[in-house]
Protein backbone atom coordinates (compact mmCIF):
# COMPACT_ATOMS: atom_id res chain seq x y z
CA UNK A 1 0.00 0.00 0.00
CA UNK A 2 0.97 3.68 -0.11
CA UNK A 3 3.21 5.01 2.66
CA UNK A 4 2.01 8.11 4.52
CA UNK A 5 4.52 7.81 7.37
CA UNK A 6 5.39 11.22 8.78
CA UNK A 7 2.44 12.94 7.10
CA UNK A 8 -0.23 14.93 8.92
CA UNK A 9 -3.77 14.92 7.54
CA UNK A 10 -6.69 17.16 8.42
CA UNK A 11 -10.08 15.61 7.63
CA UNK A 12 -13.23 17.71 7.93
CA UNK A 13 -16.35 15.84 8.94
CA UNK A 14 -14.00 13.12 10.14
CA UNK A 15 -16.05 11.71 13.00
CA UNK A 16 -18.20 9.29 11.01
CA UNK A 17 -19.04 7.85 7.60
CA UNK A 18 -16.62 8.58 4.78
CA UNK A 19 -14.54 10.95 6.88
CA UNK A 20 -13.99 8.34 9.58
CA UNK A 21 -13.04 5.68 7.03
CA UNK A 22 -10.59 8.03 5.30
CA UNK A 23 -9.00 9.06 8.59
CA UNK A 24 -8.53 5.46 9.69
CA UNK A 25 -7.15 4.49 6.29
CA UNK A 26 -4.61 7.33 6.47
CA UNK A 27 -3.58 6.25 9.97
CA UNK A 28 -3.27 2.68 8.73
CA UNK A 29 -0.65 3.92 6.28
CA UNK A 30 1.28 5.87 8.88
CA UNK A 31 -0.27 9.35 9.05
CA UNK A 32 -1.13 11.41 12.10
CA UNK A 33 -4.61 12.95 12.05
CA UNK A 34 -6.53 16.08 12.93
CA UNK A 35 -10.21 15.12 13.04
CA UNK A 36 -12.59 18.02 12.52
CA UNK A 37 -16.17 17.61 13.70
CA UNK A 38 -19.12 19.95 14.06
CA UNK A 39 -21.21 18.57 16.91
CA UNK A 40 -20.62 14.92 17.77
CA UNK A 41 -17.68 15.06 20.17
CA UNK A 42 -18.13 11.45 21.31
CA UNK A 43 -17.84 10.14 17.75
CA UNK A 44 -14.76 12.28 17.11
CA UNK A 45 -13.16 11.05 20.31
CA UNK A 46 -13.83 7.46 19.24
CA UNK A 47 -11.98 8.04 15.97
CA UNK A 48 -9.10 9.65 17.85
CA UNK A 49 -8.93 6.62 20.17
CA UNK A 50 -8.94 4.23 17.21
CA UNK A 51 -6.07 6.11 15.57
CA UNK A 52 -4.13 6.23 18.82
CA UNK A 53 -4.57 2.48 19.14
CA UNK A 54 -2.85 2.14 15.77
CA UNK A 55 0.17 3.91 17.22
CA UNK A 56 -0.35 7.34 15.68
CA UNK A 57 -1.15 10.76 17.04
CA UNK A 58 -4.59 12.30 16.61
CA UNK A 59 -6.63 15.20 17.91
CA UNK A 60 -10.26 16.20 17.57
CA UNK A 61 -10.98 19.77 16.49
CA UNK A 62 -14.47 21.17 16.90
CA UNK A 63 -15.54 23.63 14.25
CA UNK A 64 -18.29 24.33 11.74
CA UNK A 65 -16.76 24.75 8.28
CA UNK A 66 -20.02 26.26 7.01
CA UNK A 67 -19.55 29.22 9.36
CA UNK A 68 -17.08 30.92 7.03
CA UNK A 69 -13.51 32.14 6.82
CA UNK A 70 -12.72 32.66 10.49
CA UNK A 71 -14.10 29.28 11.54
CA UNK A 72 -12.06 27.48 8.88
CA UNK A 73 -8.91 29.41 9.72
CA UNK A 74 -9.37 28.42 13.37
CA UNK A 75 -9.59 24.73 12.44
CA UNK A 76 -6.40 24.91 10.38
CA UNK A 77 -4.63 26.90 13.10
CA UNK A 78 -5.52 24.27 15.73
CA UNK A 79 -4.03 21.53 13.55
CA UNK A 80 -0.88 23.57 12.93
CA UNK A 81 -0.52 24.38 16.62
CA UNK A 82 -0.63 20.68 17.47
CA UNK A 83 1.45 19.18 14.65
CA UNK A 84 3.39 22.07 13.17
CA UNK A 85 2.24 21.25 9.65
CA UNK A 86 -0.61 19.86 7.57
CA UNK A 87 0.45 17.80 4.56
CA UNK A 88 -3.00 16.60 3.51
CA UNK A 89 -6.39 18.31 3.62
CA UNK A 90 -9.55 16.31 2.96
CA UNK A 91 -12.68 18.44 2.56
CA UNK A 92 -15.24 15.82 3.47
CA UNK A 93 -17.81 17.64 5.62
CA UNK A 94 -21.16 17.60 3.84
CA UNK A 95 -24.91 17.58 4.36
CA UNK A 96 -28.06 16.95 2.36
CA UNK A 97 -31.37 18.82 2.47
CA UNK A 98 -33.20 17.12 -0.39
CA UNK A 99 -36.27 18.60 -2.00
CA UNK A 100 -37.64 19.20 -5.46
CA UNK A 101 -36.48 22.50 -6.92
CA UNK A 102 -39.97 24.04 -6.86
CA UNK A 103 -40.36 23.15 -3.18
CA UNK A 104 -36.84 23.93 -2.00
CA UNK A 105 -36.71 26.84 0.42
CA UNK A 106 -33.93 29.34 0.98
CA UNK A 107 -32.58 27.63 4.09
CA UNK A 108 -32.33 24.25 2.34
CA UNK A 109 -30.33 25.85 -0.47
CA UNK A 110 -28.12 28.04 1.71
CA UNK A 111 -27.22 25.37 4.29
CA UNK A 112 -26.08 22.85 1.69
CA UNK A 113 -24.08 25.35 -0.36
CA UNK A 114 -22.47 26.78 2.78
CA UNK A 115 -21.35 23.36 4.00
CA UNK A 116 -20.58 21.55 0.75
CA UNK A 117 -18.99 24.35 -1.29
CA UNK A 118 -18.22 27.49 0.72
CA UNK A 119 -16.67 25.47 3.56
CA UNK A 120 -14.20 23.71 1.26
CA UNK A 121 -13.29 27.04 -0.36
CA UNK A 122 -12.42 28.63 2.98
CA UNK A 123 -10.55 25.51 4.10
CA UNK A 124 -8.50 25.52 0.88
CA UNK A 125 -7.77 29.20 1.37
CA UNK A 126 -6.72 28.67 4.99
CA UNK A 127 -4.42 25.75 4.20
CA UNK A 128 -2.86 27.33 1.13
CA UNK A 129 -0.39 29.60 2.92
CA UNK A 130 1.29 26.90 5.06
CA UNK A 131 1.36 24.51 2.10
CA UNK A 132 2.84 27.20 -0.15
CA UNK A 133 5.51 27.82 2.46
CA UNK A 134 6.26 24.10 2.61
CA UNK A 135 6.18 23.86 -1.20
CA UNK A 136 4.15 20.67 -0.98
CA UNK A 137 0.69 19.44 -0.07
CA UNK A 138 -2.30 17.36 -1.05
CA UNK A 139 -5.86 18.71 -1.18
CA UNK A 140 -8.67 16.22 -1.70
CA UNK A 141 -12.24 17.44 -2.13
CA UNK A 142 -15.14 15.05 -1.75
CA UNK A 143 -17.50 15.68 -4.65
CA UNK A 144 -20.21 13.26 -5.84
CA UNK A 145 -21.60 11.57 -8.89
CA UNK A 146 -24.53 13.97 -8.40
CA UNK A 147 -22.19 16.84 -9.17
CA UNK A 148 -21.32 15.26 -12.51
CA UNK A 149 -24.77 14.19 -13.70
CA UNK A 150 -27.30 16.05 -11.55
CA UNK A 151 -29.99 14.36 -9.50
CA UNK A 152 -33.70 15.08 -9.14
CA UNK A 153 -34.51 16.42 -5.71
CA UNK A 154 -30.93 17.55 -5.10
CA UNK A 155 -30.53 20.88 -6.89
CA UNK A 156 -28.66 22.26 -3.87
CA UNK A 157 -26.42 19.23 -3.34
CA UNK A 158 -25.66 18.61 -7.03
CA UNK A 159 -24.89 22.29 -7.61
CA UNK A 160 -22.53 22.44 -4.64
CA UNK A 161 -20.76 19.24 -5.63
CA UNK A 162 -20.42 20.43 -9.24
CA UNK A 163 -19.03 23.70 -7.95
CA UNK A 164 -16.55 21.75 -5.86
CA UNK A 165 -15.16 20.21 -9.04
CA UNK A 166 -14.63 23.69 -10.48
CA UNK A 167 -13.00 24.80 -7.23
CA UNK A 168 -10.70 21.77 -7.29
CA UNK A 169 -9.49 22.48 -10.81
CA UNK A 170 -8.93 26.15 -10.02
CA UNK A 171 -7.00 25.42 -6.83
CA UNK A 172 -4.93 22.86 -8.74
CA UNK A 173 -3.95 25.47 -11.32
CA UNK A 174 -3.19 28.18 -8.77
CA UNK A 175 -1.04 26.03 -6.48
CA UNK A 176 0.66 23.65 -8.90
CA UNK A 177 3.85 25.69 -9.22
CA UNK A 178 4.58 25.06 -5.53
CA UNK A 179 4.20 21.29 -5.73
CA UNK A 180 0.68 21.23 -4.28
CA UNK A 181 -1.93 18.98 -5.88
CA UNK A 182 -5.70 19.27 -5.67
CA UNK A 183 -8.04 16.50 -6.77
CA UNK A 184 -11.66 15.52 -6.24
CA UNK A 185 -13.24 12.16 -5.54
CA UNK A 186 -16.76 11.66 -6.89
CA UNK A 187 -18.36 8.65 -5.18
CA UNK A 188 -21.48 6.97 -6.43
CA UNK A 189 -23.91 5.52 -3.89
CA UNK A 190 -21.90 4.43 -0.85
CA UNK A 191 -23.24 2.64 2.21
CA UNK A 192 -23.19 5.26 4.97
CA UNK A 193 -25.55 6.66 7.58
CA UNK A 194 -26.81 9.14 4.98
CA UNK A 195 -27.88 6.34 2.60
CA UNK A 196 -29.15 3.85 5.18
CA UNK A 197 -32.75 5.05 4.84
CA UNK A 198 -32.79 5.12 1.04
CA UNK A 199 -36.07 3.59 -0.24
CA UNK A 200 -35.75 0.13 -1.76
CA UNK A 201 -36.92 1.35 -5.17
CA UNK A 202 -34.26 4.07 -5.26
CA UNK A 203 -31.60 1.63 -4.09
CA UNK A 204 -32.53 -0.86 -6.80
CA UNK A 205 -32.45 1.89 -9.44
CA UNK A 206 -28.91 2.83 -8.44
CA UNK A 207 -27.77 -0.78 -8.50
CA UNK A 208 -29.20 -1.37 -11.96
CA UNK A 209 -27.57 1.89 -13.15
CA UNK A 210 -24.17 0.78 -11.89
CA UNK A 211 -22.20 -1.48 -14.27
CA UNK A 212 -20.55 -3.34 -11.38
CA UNK A 213 -24.03 -4.02 -10.00
CA UNK A 214 -23.60 -3.21 -6.32
CA UNK A 215 -23.34 -0.33 -3.87
CA UNK A 216 -19.86 0.72 -2.78
CA UNK A 217 -18.39 0.83 0.70
CA UNK A 218 -16.61 3.62 2.57
CA UNK A 219 -13.41 1.60 2.26
CA UNK A 220 -13.59 1.89 -1.54
CA UNK A 221 -13.57 5.68 -1.24
CA UNK A 222 -10.91 5.68 1.49
CA UNK A 223 -8.56 3.68 -0.73
CA UNK A 224 -8.86 6.32 -3.46
CA UNK A 225 -8.11 9.06 -0.93
CA UNK A 226 -5.01 7.24 0.29
CA UNK A 227 -3.71 7.07 -3.28
CA UNK A 228 -4.33 10.76 -3.97
CA UNK A 229 -2.64 11.67 -0.69
CA UNK A 230 0.45 9.62 -1.46
CA UNK A 231 3.72 10.47 -3.15
CA UNK A 232 2.75 8.08 -5.93
CA UNK A 233 0.08 10.61 -6.99
CA UNK A 234 2.57 13.48 -7.23
CA UNK A 235 1.84 13.93 -10.96
CA UNK A 236 -1.95 13.80 -10.58
CA UNK A 237 -3.72 17.11 -10.10
CA UNK A 238 -6.95 18.79 -11.15
CA UNK A 239 -8.60 15.41 -11.65
CA UNK A 240 -11.97 13.93 -10.66
CA UNK A 241 -11.64 10.30 -9.60
CA UNK A 242 -14.98 8.54 -9.89
CA UNK A 243 -15.51 5.82 -7.28
CA UNK A 244 -18.91 4.87 -8.61
CA UNK A 245 -18.85 1.31 -9.94
CA UNK A 246 -18.71 2.64 -13.50
CA UNK A 247 -21.85 4.78 -13.29
CA UNK A 248 -20.18 7.72 -15.03
CA UNK A 249 -18.13 5.63 -17.42
CA UNK A 250 -17.11 7.65 -20.46
CA UNK A 251 -18.13 10.99 -18.91
Q: Which residues are catalytic?
A: 157
Whether 103 and 157 have beta carbons less than 8 Å apart is answered as: no
Q: CA-CA distance, 248 to 251, in Å (whole number)? A: 5
Q: Cα–Cα distance between 128 and 7 in angstroms, integer?
A: 16
Contacts of 245 (CB under 8 A, 6+ apart): 188, 210, 211, 212, 213, 214, 215, 216
Helix axes 17-28, 218-229, angle to 10 degrees: 50
Q: Which of 206, 125, 116, 202 is nearest to 156 (CA)?
A: 116
- CA–CA gap between residue 52 and residue 56 (Å, rounded): 5
How many residues can be counted in the chain? 251
Pick the closest to residue 160 from 106, 121, 217, 102 (CA basis).
Answer: 121
User: Do 148 and 186 form a contact (C-beta atoms < 8 A)?
Assistant: yes
In eight-state DSSP terms, residue 88 is E
DSSP for 178-197, written as a single string: GTEEEEEEEE-SB-STTTTT
Amino acid sequence: MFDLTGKVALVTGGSRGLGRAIALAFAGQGADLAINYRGNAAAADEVVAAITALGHEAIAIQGDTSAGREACEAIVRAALDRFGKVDILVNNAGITRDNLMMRMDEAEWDEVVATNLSGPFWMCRAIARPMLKARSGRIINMSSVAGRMGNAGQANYASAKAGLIGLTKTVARELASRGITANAIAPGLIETELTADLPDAAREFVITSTPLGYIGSVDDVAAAAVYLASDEARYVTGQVLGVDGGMMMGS
